[in-house]
A and B are shown apart, each in its own frame.
Chain A
């Protein structure tokens, strides 16, 4: 039997970086950062690994394109290999990361940013990179403490920052899922872009809903957690 090369021809190589910060933003959800020298486009992803024993996983960059820091937001999967180890990383530890890549690119054009859970990452990167003008951010979570970067986003985006929480209630927060909230909107601008990021079912449901409301499917940009 013919053998493939051990490593992929198109596989982006991993290189070693030093962890600079690892913050638990809510129970089981961490923002891990390292010094970055790779230019990237907000919305892109990186591959992250703690060693070469297991394949890396892909995460959206969750930091702006102007500083010397790169971050990703992750939640611990108890039965996983990578995330329990990532959660224990402290400043000075080595990480393996790839150069940023991917075509989920933010720009200055008017858009809806629609996310659930840690799917906020690419939009926070776009926000931190100065792309928040003409944007409406809709973030859906189960619990109130999962609105990552809430203070900063609320201050900067004001009424264009819509929080949807399905299991808890609070002032200024829509009680229900993102799809429930979207159903309350009668007139979506047809000339906007619609960026979606989150689990597949949310992305598929929101995409179907937008299409049913007359949004051309080629205005919808979807990134799914694989």
Chain B
């Protein structure tokens, strides 16, 4: 199998150019073709000599892959299924909203974290995505030119594949790459502390933490990671970090009926997050097979938001999108869909 150019950073492209006997500046030309122009083959790199293109074609492939399947919701949300190496698949969601188009990318095939409320974890961990496979989920969708925001909230735990995640952000935000603002990128994690610190130090994208309950013991029942990285430690780290005026930290809070929707939770959330300039995103829970959790009634969610707001915590309720195509992260019976697709292919 040939090596892929798409997903390499400028240094790598320069090194590979030199290794083929091409000048170093070919690396910059390659970066332009890969990340700034809408081509999909080495043969289209028209400012490279034919000999250079032949040399590149012998050893490399361009590295983009088309989605294998697209589903479209009645609200315009799209869910793409992308093939990855070793005949696996990941989901990517494109969520249109007025003048914004947000793409939700996956970082792993499956997930190791085993959260009780997540469908992705039910397929176990099947592999890491490369930086190229992550960025391809943006570059190879029809809406590529109109993407306004990118969220790393699809399949997998981004901080469990941090090298590839950081590299993908580098490609997306570097001048030689897509030159996007890092303020248009949010990475969501359950809070693997060493990786979180590295992320905060090495890039400028926004951070979102899956919180779901402020109580340690309750969170342990929902999220096994709590045993290794308690939320109180995660928050302590964040409190010691200067996010500046532009960078944002937010907390994701999936609401579960009778479990994390009480005034005690409001009070403890306010205590836990005091001193952090942040936002809480309340998320309706969509039922997952085999999971004994339910979403609260709408008025409970609204009341919870209002109680947090009254405590000076900016709180929003995330709109549920693409429900008819199970577009939200981890809600699709991915395994079943993939099985069907593999059978089809």
Query: A residues near B, CB below 8 A?
Result: 1-5, 8-11, 45, 55, 58, 102-104, 199-201, 203-205, 207-208, 211-212, 216-218, 220-226
Contact = CB atoms under 8 A, between A and B. Distances in A.
A10 B122 CA distance: 31
Given A2-B243, A102-B228, 5 more contacts: A8-B237, A200-B111, A218-B221, A222-B224, A224-B112
Contact of A201 (B124, B216, B217, B226): B124
Interface string B113-147: 11010000111110000000000000000000000
Given A8-B237, A58-B228, A222 B194 contact: no
Nearest to B217: A103
Nearest to A55: B194
Interface of B: 110-114, 116, 121-125, 160, 192-194, 197, 200-201, 204, 216-217, 220-221, 224-228, 230, 233-234, 236-237, 240-244, 290-292
Given A200-B111, A217-B221, A211 B291 contact: yes
22 contacts: A2-B241, A5-B197, A8-B193, A8-B194, A10-B193, A10-B236, A10-B237, A45-B227, A45-B228, A102-B227, A103-B216, A103-B217, A103-B230, A104-B227, A199-B124, A201-B110, A204-B114, A204-B124, A216-B292, A222-B224, A224-B112, A226-B113
B228 A217 contact: no
Interface-central residue, A9, A102, A203, A223, by most chain B CB under 10 Å: A9
Contacts, number: 96
Given A203-B114, A204-B122, A224-B112, A217 B292 contact: yes
B241 A226 contact: no
Given A201-B125, A224-B113, A8 B192 contact: no
B114 to A, nearest CB: 5
B309 to A, nearest CB: 28
A91 to B, nearest CB: 29
B225 A226 contact: yes
A222 B236 contact: no
B114 A207 contact: yes
A226 B192 contact: yes
